[in-house]
Amino acid sequence: MFVWDLDETLIIFQTLSNGRYAELFSGFKDPWEGSVLGRRWEQLILEVCDDYFFYKQVEDLNEPNLLALQDFDDGIDLRNYEFDLDDIGLLPDATNRRKLAYRHRFVGELYSKGLEKLLSHEQKIEWQRLYEATDKYTDGWLSAGRQLLEECERANKMQENDLHGQVQTIGTSERRLGEVRQVASEGNCNVLVTSGTLIPSLVKCLLFRLNTYFHPLNIYSSREVGKLQCFRWIYERFSMVTPPLKFCAIGDGIDECEAAQILEWPFVRISTAPSGAQTQDAFRLPLLSMEILDHHVTNCYGLTNKVQ
């Protein structure tokens, strides 16, 4: 199970707007171009969040995962539900949590369908142009991220038939077991833990074309609880799968590094610096390979075979 950071790991985003990405290249990157790209991304992300993902209603109601409030969801049909008329509030009582759980379920369904049929014509054009311009400006960073995620899934693919009878049931609800089976059987060996809030992070995954590789239930926001707590939840959630999964964290920050060290997971550090300015223990995403990930996992777990 590969546990990824998002910003400045799989995508270049924060450092576009503040100019730090361009600074790393000592004049070889136009900082104005980077900041314009960053601002365009910010505008498009906010538009999609507000227009389709209830962000105006839930901006102050962040949860770490779409599963966080599932116990409050009574499973009603949401096709004709009036989200604009249910007066969701900030008070964390059972009524508001149920309304938020409805939104989480609906958002997960939207995420799974993708953006192609959701965005306006103008938004689709901006999305296409912005993605291509950013990939070019970052020397193929976005494409490299998607390619590596594809390699991770291909190397670690789980077939649904192999999972029957491989999930321990003691002390586990049937609903949770079904979710674990579903996620695992779809070959989703990638989990995302980001310090951003949940709804914008889901939208960023869609806009940066990462949704193919991250199941909506596999996206976590560490904003309130921290990376370590999210890592522990991920371990607990997937620890029922046998044979036991092996975990590897990948990111650019100290928080995910420390969390991985505490849990004794291998950690692969990402750096956005140019190749000539790399340190020995950090990798630019376009230079990171499945072989390097295999090496870190093998060294940590003492394995003789590649990641399975």
CA 242 to chain centre: 24
DSSP annotation of 190 reads E
User: Do residues 278 and 271 make contact, with C-beta atoms less than 8 angstroms apart?
Assistant: yes
User: Do residues 116 and 125 make contact, with C-beta atoms less than 8 angstroms apart?
Assistant: no
User: Do residues 146 and 287 make contact, with C-beta atoms less than 8 angstroms apart?
Assistant: no
The span from the CA of 135 to the CA of 119, in Å, is 21
User: Do residues 233 and 65 make contact, with C-beta atoms less than 8 angstroms apart?
Assistant: yes
Structure token pair of residue 247:
């975990």
E strand or H helix that includes residue 261: helix 254-263
The span from the CA of 66 to the CA of 297, in Å, is 29
Choosing from 5, 73, 135, 252, the catalytic residue is 5
| ∠ Cα 58 1 285 (to 5°) | 85
The span from the CA of 238 to the CA of 55, in Å, is 29
Q: Active-site residue 7, yes or no?
A: yes
Residues linked to residue 4 through DSSP beta bridges, in sequence order: 192, 250
The span from the CA of 198 to the CA of 224, in Å, is 11
Q: Active-site residue 74, yes or no?
A: no
The span from the CA of 162 to the CA of 171, in Å, is 22
Catalytic residue positions?
A: 5, 7
